[in-house]
A = this chain, B = another copy of it.
Amino acid sequence: MDNLATIFSGDLQQLHPADIADRIQRMPLDQVADILRTLPAPLAGEALAELEDEIKAELLQEFSELELADLFQKLEHNDTTDLLGELDDSLQRTVLEQLPDDVSVPVQALLQYEEDTAGGIMSDRFIALAMDETIESSQQQLRRAAQFSTEDISYLYVVDHDQRLRGVASFRDLVFGSPHKKVADIMQESVTFLRVTDDQEEISRQFAHYHYLALPVLDQQDRVVGVVKASDVLEIAREEATEDMQLMVGLSGEERVLTPWRKSLPGRLPWLYVNLVTAFAAAAVIAFYESTIAHWTALAIFLPVVAGQGGNAGMQTLTVIIRDMALGEITRGDGRRALLKELFLGIANGLAIGLAVGLVAYLWKGSIALSLVACSAMILTHLVAGLAGVMIPFSLKFLKVDPAMASSIFITTITDLAGFLFFLGFATMAMRWLGVVP
């Protein structure tokens, strides 16, 4: 086994850490650990950092504290922080104690921030220039900064004595500027920045809106403590979209194909129970009209049509609203605008679908009464579907709940209830008051 791992790892060393992670993450955990042990120090840690979260936590259990400290030593501090976050508190402390101070101190500083904030996302690798330095001495500082990659110097942040952000300098101006000028003379004073506590969804919106490649992150004292890059935000945007899609249908937001079924179950089953309660609410409406159905069984045939159409139409509206909310494309006043739009769409769709259903009902069962009942119920259900599709996410947002949260369950509940009420209610009225005999 060890031998096999060694041979395999020889090939892996040529690869990007993200590709190594892809190759090994579907293997049994002990094999993954063996392979990582044979890889050179920075690469092994980098590959570990690229593994899916699902696997990280369990895989880290395979290593001793010493091995972990070894893996983390040459890693970027924010990668180390992410990995340490997967460990329980006592193990985290033990590993931190094994690390040299120049690693453990900055890592502990990063560990204090929530995972989904600017502080949790940022890298602490950036270049800060002192505003009262000369350009010449700043150039020397850059020359010495050999461990920085090209990406890290896209932006040079200018700070005062207390590390407070005062401006941003272009690399070109710094390199080609007259050597005896001060950095303060060439910097641009107005800088967009993030706060350590800024939420990642908001950060993703900002980056998409303004097309930033990177933004500095400030702490409460206005000191520059890190930088967030567009490449980090890209991953976040993909995760946020995934979470929204999952929340909508009643999932945890974090399930992946690789998630073992035992871990998926507690994420799925509670929402299935919620759905069950709402389904019984719809069933209660049918039960209320049980005697109507007993006299007119053909009604039962149309129940899934009414429910299915309303649910689908409602999901269309809901999806547009929820996604636009997530993208930050909805502003105040759009709620009313959206309601008006859905009013027209509900009538148009309702008429188009209602007439089709009415026609089928007539051709199939030869009953004009059934046809009229189905058609009118369909029109009203589409109207309710559209309006509820707007009101559910706006209400959830107003209640400060994620508007995507289980929203598909809420919308189908409303469309089912409305659909059955209209359809069976109209049928009952037709029988009772119009003397329709099925």
> Could you list which residues of chain A lie within 8 angstroms of chain B, going by C-beta atoms?
16, 18, 22, 26, 52, 142-143, 145, 148-151, 153-155, 170-172, 175-176, 204, 207-213, 229-235, 237-238, 241-242, 244-246, 248-251, 255-261, 264-265, 268-269, 271-273, 275-276, 278-280, 282-283, 286-287, 290, 293-294, 297-298, 300-305, 307-309, 311-313, 315-316, 319-324, 327, 329-331, 333-334, 337-338, 341-342, 344-345, 348-349, 352-353, 356-357, 360, 364, 408-409, 412, 416, 420
Apart from A280-B360, A293-B293, 15 more pairs, CB < 8 Å: A18-B211, A153-B172, A171-B171, A211-B232, A229-B230, A241-B241, A245-B245, A257-B321, A268-B345, A272-B312, A272-B353, A276-B308, A278-B308, A300-B303, A307-B307
Set of chain B residues within 8 Å of A171, measured between Cβ atoms: 150, 153, 171
Q: Whole-angstrom distance from the CB of A88 to the nearest CB of chain B?
A: 27
* Cα distance, A244 to B148, chains bound together (Å): 38
Set of chain B residues within 8 Å of A272, measured between Cβ atoms: 309, 312-313, 316, 349, 352-353
Set of chain B residues within 8 Å of A26, measured between Cβ atoms: 331, 333, 337
Q: Whole-angstrom distance from the CB of A169 to the nearest CB of chain B?
A: 9
Chain A interface mostly? helix
Return the 4 tightest CB-CB contacts between A and B, nearest first: A241-B241, A230-B230, A279-B308, A261-B344
Set of chain B residues within 8 Å of A297, measured between Cβ atoms: 290, 293-294, 297
24 contacts between A and B (CB under 8 A): A16-B210, A22-B331, A26-B331, A145-B172, A150-B170, A153-B172, A204-B234, A213-B230, A233-B234, A241-B245, A245-B319, A245-B322, A248-B319, A250-B316, A264-B341, A264-B345, A265-B345, A276-B305, A276-B309, A280-B305, A282-B308, A304-B307, A312-B408, A312-B409
Asked whether A213 lies within 8 Å of B211 as measured between CB atoms, the reply is no
